[in-house]
Amino acid sequence: MDESILKARGLTKAYGALKATDTLSLEIRTGEIHAIIGPNGAGKTTAIGQLSGELTSDEGTIYFAGRDITRLPVHKRACLGLARSFQITSILLNFTAEDNVAMAVQARDGHSFKFWKSARTDRKLRVPAREVLKEVGLADRADIVADRLSHGEQRQLELAMALATRPALLLLDEPMAGMGPASSRKMVDLLQTLKGRLTILMVEHDMDAVFTLADRITVLVYGRAIATDTPENIHTDPAVRKAYLGENG
Amino acid sequence: MNRFQLTLKTCILIAALVILIGLPPVASALEATFYIGLFSRILIYALAAVSLDLILGYGGMVSFGHAAFFGAGAYVVGILAFHGIEGSAVISWPFVIMGTDNALISWSVAAVASAGLAFVIGAISLRTSGVYFIMITLAFAQMMYFFFTSLEFYGGDDGLSLFTRSRLGHMDLSNDAAFYYTCLGLLIGFLLFSRRLVNSRFGMVIRGCKENERRMGALGFPTYRYKLVCFVIAGAGAGLAGALMANQTEFVSPSLLHWTVSGDILVMVILGGVGTLVGPVFGATVFLLLEEFLSRYTEHWMLFLGPILIFVVLFARRGLYGSFVERKADNG
Amino acid sequence: MYLLLFCQQFLNGLQFGVMLFLMASGLTLIFGIMDLINLAHGSLFMVGAYLCATVFQQTGSFMLGLLVALPGAALVGIVVEVFVLRTLYARDHLDQVLATFGLILFFNELTKIIWGPRALFLDVPEALSGTIEIIPGAPYPTFRLAIIVVGIIVAIFLYFLITRTRLGMLIRASATNREMVGALGVNVNLLYTLVFGLGALLAGLAGAMAGPLFAVEVGMGEDILILTFVVIVIGGIGSIRGALVGAILVGLIDTLGRAFLPALFKLFLDPATADGVGASLDSMAIYILMALVLAWKPRGLLPAHE
């Protein structure tokens, strides 16, 4: 049994002369929460884009659950179980919270070339959608149009949509971005409950959150992974301290 | 508030239905049969406008080429009828298609042919979005305009006259009232179908694509495919409307595919209310009545219509029906 | 014989391409910078044509006509930008389409009221009415040649404007990143009005020069507008170079297609069928070209935003 769900080798993406990611290799083990940290411009969002399929890699290969997905488009990767949240919240703003999640359930439930039966009363969509909303703590907000939810709630909703697709790997691009301390703590608690049940790869600036949640951390500098280790070891790694925290020796 | 709106909406719909059903006998009694023809035209354009609203209002695809499908549907009926009278074949290779004036056949062929055309145009146009999409759909519609203009055999620029209207079972469609009710029935049928459609799983995906296509892709939907199917369905609807139009005027010509027709249909949708199914019907009614009556007072009625459009865009963006009756995107 | 004919038609295609370039260069900047779809650009072409035609007919001086038509079209463009289009920049494309469609209806009807429904036909200005043998044995009308020269001058002017001036730098910057330019403290409103005025001026120039070649009539603007869209789609939005390449391509293929396609089909089809197929295909050729370019490069040949 291969215990890693995702293996990326030598990923490179260049914008002109600038290499956003440079022969980046990553390995995500099944069941872990893996965090990518690094200074601004280290290529974290580019890496997420390459893994999710929004960006095509110049070089490198990506294996997901044993399959080569390097050339697959976004939606095919998603169908294989690769879900993601965006750095800037990306939900269906004019849909209710429940409709948003029902859409994700629908995505998991095979093709949607079904033209006749109403999706609004379909219990196969609605029941699971409500369950997931309850799981992320939005049960009482189900009928609110997403536009009217608070920023924190919108981020929870986006997570709910990702969860509803029952992903094998969840890519979270700065899940705490733009959140106040209270909502951040709520999100950390929420992610904590998922720990062990779900494999998560997250990019995050909030170091408290990262060191609370992550099983392993990869440090990215100038598009290269300079270290991958447990939080304790990363904390004391001299190379990391030098490159990332700007300390000398 | 909600309940009030619901009843208001229901009242308006019932009133509209009663008026439309009662129109032919009343018009005959008042010896104003002219109105039966005018309203047949309104119903036909309404059908085209509703089909456009499926892609525009629900799918967020701003197509400026809907006249291509409308005109193609009309031409299919015209050409089939032309050969039907002659008793000749439309094509004889690789298989034989004989001409016909049987409505069940020719109208279906019209819808299918327009759907096929929509598939080709959509497959190319949907690779792009935004202003590109608008320009490309407009350009392809213009291409079809030139294509039919160049068909010298079928009258070229001058168009093609139908000798009679299509045959539909035992119904005599040359009777204006019978034809009117046929149009009304088809429009209502298409509205009911669209209502199911926009609330189905497929419809939800289409609406999701309008809202946030990137998110839909990340959820695992191949958005291009869904949008294309929606585009094809809309094309079929417009083709059916075209088939009716050919019968209404008993004449087809490239002017049905002129770019201004695309513009007119678009205006009807927006005037009535984008993203509401009944809105475009009201839009078509208001637009064609305005045309009819303004043009009686002045031949320069466009001078007024233009500023009215600009005014609607700047100040009444949800359209008439959308502003007064519906608030959010209509669920049917 | 065929070669000489080909050369003449080639020049005709080039001349038509220049006309399209004048339309497309302004329009593509407006698309690229303001993200505005302006259907009424054809109306500015028409305004230029009518103004020039009227002055030319009254005074007999084509130069005077140009001197009135260019600022006239620019002025109309600026007025429209300030009073209608400016409020539309923040709106979605659907609103822009509808409002500018309304503008077309208005301008066409107004033109009908002022100049009447009948087309105006102009002679080629006296000084340019002769022919020149640039290729020995193939006399070519001076006026058409003058249009090509004007087009080359405009292309060079635009090149310098875009690459060498501060205004050009701002235009390039806005075409790539609109938000940034506003953040730099540039008066964006003024920039937009200037760009729009420039686009209107070029459309007016194209219209004025088209007068002696085509009929000056209501609706002339929309015919060329749709071709201009094809040019921009092929060239790529927001790119002057793309507009130039697209315009020349469309001009050449349209003209050469009309001239030679029927003859070409007669080589392997019977004459009647060849005429029919040729007539269908030559008017469709540029749209087929557009479809091919799109299938290959959905963002056009030389898009401004990479």
Domain membership flag for residue A234: yes
Judge if A12 and A47 occupy the same domain: yes
How many Å lie between the alpha carbon of A87 and the closest alpha carbon of chain B? Answer: 12
| Residues of chain B predicted below pLDDT 50 | 1, 328-330, 332
Please provide residue B317's backbone torsions phi and psi, each rounded to the nearest 5 degrees.
Answer: -65, -25
Looking at A118, A142, A165, which one is the last position of a domain?
Answer: A165
CB contact B127 to A (< 8 Å): no
Q: Domain spans of chain C?
A: 10-296
Judge if A210 and A190 occupy the same domain: yes
- CATH fold for domain C10-296: ABC transporter involved in vitamin B12 uptake, BtuC (1.10.3470)
Nearby residues of B265 by Cβ (< 8 Å), 6 or more positions away: B45, B48, B49, B52, B66, B67, B70
Number of domains chain A is built from: 2
Contact C148, C14 (CB under 8 A): yes
Of B131, B142, B305, nearest to C37 by CB-CB distance is B131
Do residue B219 and residue A165 have CB atoms under 8 angstroms apart?
A: yes
Tens digit of each residue's pLDDT, chain C (306 residues): 678 888 888 999 999 999 999 999 989 888 888 888 899 999 999 999 999 999 999 998 899 999 999 999 999 999 999 988 888 888 888 889 999 999 999 999 999 999 998 888 888 888 888 888 877 777 888 889 999 999 999 999 999 998 888 888 888 777 777 677 777 777 888 888 999 999 999 999 999 999 988 889 998 999 899 999 999 999 988 888 999 999 999 999 999 988 888 778 778 777 777 777 777 788 888 999 999 998 888 888 988 754
Of A54, A94, A102, nearest to B211 by CB-CB distance is A94
| Cα atoms in the Cβ-side hemisphere of radius 13 Å centred on A94 | 14
* Angle, in degrees to the nearest 10, between helices C2-34 and C142-164: 30
Distance CA C198, CA B86 (A): 57
Distance CA C27, CA C21 (A): 10
Domain membership flag for residue A87: no
The DSSP bridge pattern shows strands A216-221 and A33-37 to be: parallel
Distance CA A130, CA A142 (A): 7
The DSSP bridge pattern shows strands A200-203 and A169-173 to be: parallel
Domain that residue A103 falls in: 93-165
* Angle, in degrees to the nearest 10, between helices B201-219 and B223-249: 150
pLDDT at C298: 86
B146-191 confidence digits (pLDDT tens): 999 988 889 888 999 988 888 888 888 889 999 999 999 999 999 9
CB contact B207 to A (< 8 Å): yes
Contact C203, C22 (CB under 8 A): yes
How many Å lie between the alpha carbon of C274 and the closest alpha carbon of chain B? Answer: 12
Do residue B218 and residue A115 have CB atoms under 8 angstroms apart?
A: no
Judge if A14 and A34 occupy the same domain: yes
Chain A hits for B211, Cβ within 8 Å: 92-95
Q: Whole-prediction pTM value?
A: 0.92
Looking at A130, A146, A165, which one is the last position of a domain?
Answer: A165
The DSSP bridge pattern shows strands A18-29 and A4-15 to be: antiparallel
CA angle A222, A227, A232 (to 5 degrees): 130
The DSSP bridge pattern shows strands C138-141 and A33-37 to be: unpaired
Judge if A178 and A63 occupy the same domain: yes
Judge if A72 and A121 occupy the same domain: no
> Which chain B residues in 296-315 lie under 8 Å from chain C, judged by CB atoms?
300, 302-303, 305-310, 312-314
How many Å lie between the alpha carbon of A123 and the closest alpha carbon of chain B? Answer: 12
Do residue A104 and residue B219 have CB atoms under 8 angstroms apart?
A: yes
Judge if A248 and A171 occupy the same domain: yes
